[in-house]
Structure 1
Amino acid sequence: MEIREDLLKQKKSRPLELLAPAGSFEAFKAAVENGADAVYLGGKSFSARASAANFDLDELRKAVRYAHERQVKVYVTVNILIADQEFGELLDYLYALHEIRVDAVILQDLGVAGLIQAVLPELETHASTQMTINTTWGVQHLETLGFARVVLARETSAAEIETLAENTPLDLEVFVHGALCVCYSGQCLMSSFIGGRSGNRGTCAQPCRMTYQLVNQDQENLLAGKSLGEHLLSPKDLNLAEDLTELKRIGVHSLKVEGRMKRPEYVATVIRLYKQAIERIESRPEGAPLLTPEEHQELLQIFNRDFTRGYWQENPGADLMSYSRPNNRGTRLGRVVRFDSGRLALKLEAVLNPGDGIELWTGRGREGVTAGEIRKDKNQVNKGLPGETVEIDFSGSAHPGDRVFKTNDARLMEKARESFQEGKEQRKRSLKMSLSGRIGDKMSLEVAEGERKVRVNSSNPAQKALKRPLTWDYAYQQLGRLGTTPFWLDRLDLDVEEGLMLPVSDLNEMRRLAVEELLLEATQQTVERSVYRQRVVRWRERQEQERSASKAPLISQVSVAVSDPETLRAALKSGAKRVLIAGEHWRSRHGFQLDEIRSGFETCRKQGADCSWRLPRVLNEAQSAGLLTDLRKAALWPDKPKLMIANLGELEMMRSVDGEWPFETDYSLNVFNEATLAQLLRTGAQAVTLSPELHHEQLAPLAKWGRTEYLVFGDLEMMVSEYCPVGSTLGGKQGDRCAGICRKEPHYLRDRLRYDFPIEMDLECRMHLFNVKLLNLYEELPQIKRMGVSNIRLQLTRQSPEQVRQIVRIFLEAWDGLQLGKRALWTPDEGMAELSALFPQGFTKGHFFRGVL
């Protein structure tokens, strides 16, 4: 897995790529004109920022042409889960992107990655952060899928990134600035299940920015009186501007700025400042800052929720979070001195200009106003300076001592707008021209950009001048009129016979022809549409053959997922014939140790039950090494345990131990379409658990493949996060060790509607946030049975042994009865009554009828 030392040196010596976001054409121009090396943007479909303006095909074509003329790359986001009925449109879209000559597409969906590898391998692919890749093992799997680059999970530390760079030829892309998700991207179902807006489909409603209280089982607010704030899931904004030197040293290639929902002025400012920082990396003494204090202030001013370095060095705990507010804080402006008769007096700590937006933090909340006329000592002034007391008009409510923040700097915004104003583009490439000729001959113009040269001749021969012979000044004036082209004339050499003249129309035509030739892109092989169509036909035929060859088991089973030996015994006692053991190890209970996993398999075998070892859905590099050790031990057992893979890295770890190890895949791999299902079966999966975001109409075609599993009851995990809200807010350390407060009692996050979301912490101190209501499709079992789903799953990883016994019995009776043809006699009433008595908080049917499309 290690790469050659010379390749690693090459990676570290490459120039950094500054990658900018663009949600509109204005933002796109702002990115290019302020120094971006590449821009990522979305089309009108298949983009993870569906509410941005985004680009139709004509706008994409225009953007790519504009960027390529300025030697800037364009990456298009196709980074959502794709439904089967969308593949026809997707196939047309991918070919259109190839024709437009985008530089790469950014993907989340495993099936789409396999599709592109089969039908359009000429199109470069980048793995989205939505794929939850943070280990060498995960990156290794991406290599097999044809990816050229991976956008790492934001939770990956500097030390882990360096290890990744040393072990893969792929480009590494890292987020360096902007909003952070509190959950691992691609693993969040919170917006989807509580609001019907799926992050995996690009419509996240950002429930992490809402208010929550941390409560216990007695519904006591554990943070009452702490003045901490109630935005308990809202992170600060990432800012790694002063870590760029280290990012380059450890082998990162692309620096990604988040912000496709941000306005163009934000993009312009952040990209300008990061470009300046990059350009200073080689010239600044070691340890010297890359940005001035004034430039850091501009980063703060344009937008911030306060800044954090995220997980760059370590888990920052509470320092990651913006508890007091989820939106722009602005910068400190000063305090209220007095408020009287509509005039607000402010003692300034920073410059105040007319047009600046300010916000007062009062005892009753926050009030905003745009500064109009500014007065000092009753005289109007152009601006207020630090240390001065000035007055502005204000019609709200304020009191002496109230803090005041500047949320919008009019001068900074104007500076940003000027940088991308139409007709004033500054992103230019320098040209050297050489004009030569003799009277009676056609003149020659050679134009050079770097090593590239073009030569054009005048339409007419040069003539002897009667009045005004051609001079260097006149030639420079005409040839330098490059207007809105991406060029400027740096040097002109003139070698012409004395007394020569050429009409200005000929000079202009020569300049135009030379520029047109320079703007022709280097020859790029485009796949013929007919060839593409043939490849698509072959891909469809292969998928149809694989579907026909994939057979369902004769008897479909009820899978029971449990997390400790006691609930395993309860499941088996109730007659479970298929169990999934282990998974995450909750701190609130005794989970499976390796020897208990082994004894659990032996117990299941003796009782004739099928058993799989569920692996955790998230592991970092060090934890992967621990799991690999356990897998190597398990490979030596007389009966090798079947595994349930929860992330792509685990698949490669397993293969490194034994390429023939039997395995299944868990729902965290987001199987949302037939292409992804086929991709996993092709890698050797014996069964595949389907996405819980599927609508029942989407579920039916997938069930035809057989070897599918579908969640029908139990706890649904809304988030998995490196952030621990319990330890971070209640005091989580005893020296260097976790105080284990989460073990003392159950904890919940209560939302503004007073719903309590259960929290579990695993042994690695990750937070797992669960839905308030359990998934329950008991009443839909006949429909699910008719679809042909191979196995249904009961996700009982947080239930008590007694609850497990009753739930397993209820579902086994129903499912076995349906299999024996007793559908006409079956009614859900009795079973539902028992389930409702067990869980009075109620149930949800999830997306079975609602869907996320």
Structure 2
Amino acid sequence: MNNQREAVVANETPPLELLAPAGSFEAFKAAVENGADAVYLGGKSFSARASAANFDLEELHKAVRYAHERQVKVYLTVNILIADQEFQELMDYLYAVYDIGVDAVILQDLGVASLIRAILPELEIHASTQMTINTTWGAQHMERLGFYRVVLARETSAAEIKTLAASTPLDLEVFVHGALCVCYSGQCLMSSFIGGRSGNRGTCAQPCRMTYQLVNQERKNLLTVKNLGEHLLSPKDLNLVEDLVELKEIGVHSLKVEGRMKRPEYVATVIRLYRKALDRIERQGENGPLLTTEEHQELLQIFNRDFTKGYLRENPGADLMSYSRPNNRGTRLGRVVSLNSGGLDLKLEAAIHSGDGIEFWTGRGREGITVGNIWRDKQQVNDGFPGETVQIEFSGVARPGDRVFKTNDAKLMEKARESFQEGKEQRKRPLTMSLRGHIGDKLTLEVVEGMRRVRVFSANPAQKALKRPLTWDYANQQLGRLGTTPFWLDQLVVEVDEGLMLPVSDLNEMRRKAVEELLRETTQRNVERSLYRQRIGKWNNELAKARLSSARSNLPLVSVAVSDPETLEAALKSGAKRVLIGGEHWRSRKNFKIDEIRSGFETCRKQGVDCVWRLPRVLNETQSTRLLEDLKKAALWPDKPKLMVSNLGELEMLRSLDPNWPFETDYSLNVFNEASLAHFLHLGAQRVTLSPELHHEQLAHLAKWGGIEYFVFGDLEMMVSEYCPIGSTLGGKQGSHCSGVCVKEPHYLRDRLEYDFPLETDQECRMHLYNVKVLNLYEELPQLKRMGVSNIRLQLTRQSPEQVGLIVKVFLEAWDTLQLGNRSLWTPDQGMAELTSMFPQGFTKGHFFRGVL
């Protein structure tokens, strides 16, 4: 894959690409007609917005043709984790979309990236934000894997983007408008584990938009007196329209608008306004605001949860969040003045129209209506304006002084719909035409559009006119009839003999042929299906060989993950033969310092225990630099420690220090299929921890490979977020000004069903949200043994030393008994009783039986 860009004129930067979402063909047309440079959309399969209408292959072909005729690119989302049984369908699909002419595919699954690199390297690939790339190290790894573009994590700051842009040839794409995930994308398991709908499979149920209470150990609501609202995980919408100049200067290439689930009118309005802003940058540079007050109001009106700049400058803490409501706020319309039978008086702060949707914020909640008739001074009118008092029909409950918001502007929606109405397309390119020739010869029509030039000839020779000779006006009238084509006639030169005549049918046919030639697809798709099948066959053979060669005879072990020296000691005393130390640095406990990591390794070596240093799940650029310094120290130890990488940037850091540094991979890398497993083993991983979203049948298939580890007991992390609800609501301000209230007592998020989700905060003030119930596959150990699972993992990073000691003993006794083939001597009853006594909140078997497919 060639990642080298074409040379750019010195001191010039390419124009910013405006990238629009489309969940339906109507939204797609809305995006194109309102000025998008590119559109991203999903197919009926393999898309991270599975509940959008999406595009079948016929619709996709229609969309690509429509876009390319207007010089707009189409990027297809294949940004979910793919199961092994789906790969054959995926391979057929990839060739079909390549043949259709999509400009790139957006990927999450590294196994799919490996597949495309092997069987269809001609297809451009972009790294989805689901891959959690936010550092120069992560971008370097994407470059090494053949990606052309990286969609950065939304948490990446302007300063970090600037550093990234200076260090990589990859295109950088950033979100600039729309809904925000509170969790790092690709690292969220909350919808998956509490509702069975996986964000990694495109079916997120958005639990972040639900209500929660922040409670302490005594289950007291800590925010009762603050009256913030209970949507404690619901962010505002991103809006960076006035920051586009800076984004261009720091090296961003593509501006991504979120919204594949939004209505076409939303797409039309947001893209139209961002296009206006970008056009103003090209005309006026940095001078002046990019949108007028009225245009900002339209952006607010079409949909907002209030707006935020996200993490562009700093961690905004509570300012990121929309605590009071998770959906569209609308815009301030006015207040209720008085009520009367069948109606009310409304003092306006903004315009109102018949057909508008409005919402009353009352003491009893919110009530919405569609505006019918409007009266002013007892005269029926269609509109009311700021400063006026109007009367509207109303039969609900409200009081004088209640605030009223407009949630739907009928005129704005009508304006948006007109922009993509069938037959009224406005996205057209100018043509220059030259018609030349002589009586007795065929006329020549030369048409120029941009860098393209076509020439066609009349079907018949021109004749001498008997009545009506060809004039410029007549030629302009006929050649300018370009209808629904993406062209308009800008200039026409007519150089013909005086008194010449050509039938109108010949003129029309020349125009038709010229347009047809201009619209001919110039991108050559030159991979024949037979060659594609050969590549697939080779890939399948290599995968089979890798599966056979990976089979190892290592004795299966129980891995025990701990996060501080005390729990390490407890695990070793209980007989652990493999320990994973490190990970996140919790604010609530001591954690491992670098010298304690080293001493832990030395202790384990003396006892013959396999020890692995787990690296943190998320790091920003500054934190990566600090970790790199620690790794440089560790590289000088007499025995280099084995490492467990938790993100792709860490893997690249290891390679920079020592390409042969022994490493394993953690479950946060979302290994969901053979291809991704083979990818990491090929890179040198000694062991790969599989995704916790696997069904037992998928696991049995992957267990044929050696060197796998599977999470069977412990706290499942549902979210990791730069936003901390504790510090943001109780700590004064999240970050350096926070009072550190998180370390004073345990905290939980209580949902509407009164389940309490434990919260942990790390030293970087990130929130880590855990499942209410502990994952426990103790009763499934015999099945795991029969499958041939290499290692099982106990994730005991939040447990006390006493709990760690007991849990390790319970699992070691069972696992050792099963490894000796003494299945008849083992029953789960006693072990389950001991585990249950430690965890009264109960257990979950996760996706072992229900899966996410």
Q: TM-score, normalised by structure 2?
A: 0.99
Q: Equivalent residues in 2 for 1:366-385 (5 A)?
A: 366-385=366-385
Q: Deviations over 1:435-487 (max 9, x none)?
A: 11222211111111123111111111111212111111111111110111111
Is the CA contact 1:74–1:103 (under 8 Å) kept in the aligned structure 2? Answer: yes
Q: Distance in 1 between the 2:605 and 2:532 partners?
A: 50
Q: Secondary structure at the match of 1:280?
A: helix
Q: Where does residue 257 of structure 1 map in the other structure?
A: 257
Cα deviation code 1:636-677 (max 9, x no counterpart) = 011111000000000010111111110000000000000000
Q: Confirm whether residue 600 of structure 1 aligns to residue 567 of structure 2.
A: no
- Which AA in structure 2 matches 1:83? A
Q: Is the 8 A contact 2:161 2:250 kept in 1?
A: yes
Structure 2 distance, partners of 1:238, 1:191, is 22
The one-character-per-residue Cα deviations of 1:667-724 (angstroms, maximum 9, x if unpaired) are 0000000000000000000000000000000001111111000000000000000001
Matched, 1:311 2:339: no
Q: Quick one: structure 1 residues 5 and 784, their matched pair in 2 at CA, closer, same or farther if it must change by over 3 Å?
A: closer
Q: Hey, what does 2:235 align to over in structure 1?
A: 235
Native 8 Å contact 1:12 1:250 kept in 2: no
- Give me the whole-angstrom Cα distance separating, in 2, the residues matched to 1:679 and 1:267: 38
Matched-pair contact (CA < 8 Å) for 2:48–2:202: yes
1:10 CA displacement: 6.4
Native 8 Å contact 2:728 2:734 kept in 1 = no
Distance 2:6 2:763 in 1: 39
Give the secondary-structure state (helix, strand or coil) at the position aligned to 1:395: coil
Q: Deviation at 1:523?
A: 4.8
The Cα of 1:733 is off from its aligned counterpart by: 4.2
Alpha carbons of structure 1 residues 673 and 442: separation in structure 2 relative to 1, 3 Å: same
Displacement of 1:551: 2.1
How much has 1:34 moved relative to structure 2?
0.3
Evaluate the alpha carbon distance shift between residue 631 and residue 11 of structure 1 in structure 2; reply closer, same or farther with a 3 A threshold. Answer: farther
What is the CA distance between 1:505 and its match in structure 2?
Answer: 0.7
Output aligned runs, 1:55-204, within 5 Å.
55-204=55-204
The one-letter amino acid of 1:678's match is A
Q: How far is 1:740 from its partner? A: 0.8
What's the counterpart of residue 548 of structure 1? 548
Once the two structures are TM-superposed, the CA of residue 344 in structure 1 deviates from its matched residue by: 1.5
Indicate yes or no: 2:699 matched with 1:699.
yes
Partner of 1:357: 357
Moved more, 541-550 or 12-21: 12-21
Offset, 1:736: 4.3
Secondary structure, aligned partner of 2:353: coil
Structure-1 residue corresponding to 2:715: 715
Q: What is the one-letter code of the residue matched to 2:191?
A: S
Q: Give the Cα separation in 2 of the matches to 1:11 and 1:321.
A: 39
- Give the drift of 1:98: 0.8
Distance 1:260 1:6 in 2: 31
Q: CA deviation at 1:23?
A: 0.2
How far the C-alpha of 1:602 sits from its partner, in A, is 0.8
SS at match of 1:737: coil
**Equivalent in the alignment of 1:522:** 522
User: Quick one: structure 1 residues 78 and 627, their matched pair in 2 at CA, closer, same or farther if it must change by over 3 Å?
Assistant: same
Q: Would the alpha carbon gap of residues 794 and 127 (structure 1) be closer, same or farther in structure 2, given more than 3 Å must change? A: same
Instruction: Report the secondary structure of 2:685's partner residue.
Output: coil
The residue identity in structure 2 corresponding to 1:371 is: V
Contact 1:464 1:499 (8 Å CA) reproduced:
yes
Q: Does 1:802 align with 2:802?
A: yes
Report if the CA contact (8 A) 2:178-2:239 is conserved: yes
Corresponding residue for 1:583?
583
Cα distance in 1 for partners of 2:195, 2:734 equals: 38
How many Å separate the matches in 2 of 1:692 and 1:146? 27
Aligned equivalent of 2:776: 776
Name the structure 1 match of 2:388. 388
Shift of residue 282 of structure 1? 3.7
Distance 1:526 1:6, change over 3 A: closer
Map Cα deviations across residues 92-144 of structure 1 (whole Å, 9 max, x no partner).
00000110010000000000001100110000000000000000000000011
| Distance (whole Å) between structure 1 residues aligned to residue 735 and residue 119 of structure 2 | 56
> What does the per-residue CA deviation read over 1:347-381, in whole Å, with 9 as the maximum and x for residues that have no partner?
00000011100000000010000111110111111
Mapping of residues 288-327 of structure 1, within 5 Å: 288-327=288-327
**Which residue pairs with 1:337 in the alignment?**
337
CA RMSD of aligned residues (A): 1.4
Code of the aligned partner of 1:332: R
Shift of the alpha carbon at 1:288? 2.1
* Per-residue deviation, residues 404-429 of structure 1 (Å, max 9, x unmatched): 00000000000000000000000001
Q: Is the 8 A contact 1:12 1:249 kept in 2?
A: no
Q: Which residue of 2 aligns with 1:821?
A: 821
Q: Secondary structure at the match of 1:13?
A: coil
Runs (4 or more) in structure 1 with deviation over 4 Å come to 3-12, 733-736
Q: Is the 8 A contact 2:713 2:774 kept in 1?
A: yes
Deviation at 1:810, TM superposition (A): 0.2
What secondary structure is seen at the aligned counterpart in 1 of 2:352? Answer: coil
Partner amino acid for 2:311? Y
Alignment identity in percent?
Answer: 80
Cα shift readout 1:264-314 (whole Å, capped 9, x = no counterpart): 000000000000001111433646211111111000000000000000000
Residues 726, 732 of structure 1: 8 Å contact kept:
no
Kept after mapping to 2: 8 A contact 1:732/1:740? no
Count of residue pairs the alignment pairs up:
851
The answer for unaligned runs of 5 or more in structure 2 is none
Could you tell me which amino acid in structure 1 is paired with residue 702 of structure 2? Answer: L
In structure 2, distance between residues paired with 1:738 and 1:729: 10
CA contact (8 A) 2:727 2:735 kept: no
Secondary structure (helix, strand or coil) at the match of 1:781 reads: helix
Question: CA-to-partner distance for each residue in 1:206-236, whole Å, 9 max, x for gaps?
Answer: 0000000000000000001211000000000
CA contact (8 A) 1:18 1:255 kept: yes
Could you tell me which amino acid in structure 2 is paired with residue 663 of structure 1?
A: F
Residue 283 of structure 2 aligns to a residue whose secondary structure is: coil
CA deviations on 1:781-815 (whole Å, 9 max, x unpaired) are 00001111100000000000010010000000000
| Counterpart Cα distance in 1 of 2:285 and 2:454 | 42
Query: In 2, Cα distance between the equivalents of 1:808 and 1:560?
Result: 7
1:284 aligned residue: 284
Which runs of structure 2 are paired with 1:737-776 in the superposition (5 Å)? 737-776=737-776
CA contact (8 A) 1:373 1:392 kept: yes
Matches within 5 A, 1:575-654: 575-654=575-654
Q: Is the 8 A contact 1:468 1:501 kept in 2?
A: yes
Q: Match for residue 674 of structure 1?
A: 674
Instruction: Give, in whole Å, the separation in 2 of the partners of 1:676 and 1:592.
Output: 31
TM-fit CA distance, 1:387? 0.6
Counterpart residue identity of residue 115, structure 1? L
- 1:419 counterpart residue number: 419
Could you say which residue in structure 2 is the equivalent of 1:440?
A: 440
Distance 1:692 1:734, change over 3 A: closer
Unaligned ranges ≥5, structure 1? none
Q: Distance in 2 between matches of 1:12 and 1:663?
A: 43
**1:514 to partner: Cα distance:** 0.7
Q: Distance in 1 between matches of 2:61 and 2:180?
A: 31
Structure 2 counterpart SS, 1:375: strand
Q: Which deviations, in whole Å up to 9, do the C-alpha atoms of 1:37-70 show, x marking residues without a partner?
A: 0000000000000000000000000000000000
Bigger shift: residues 5-14 or 831-840: 5-14
Question: Partner amino acid for 2:533?
Answer: R
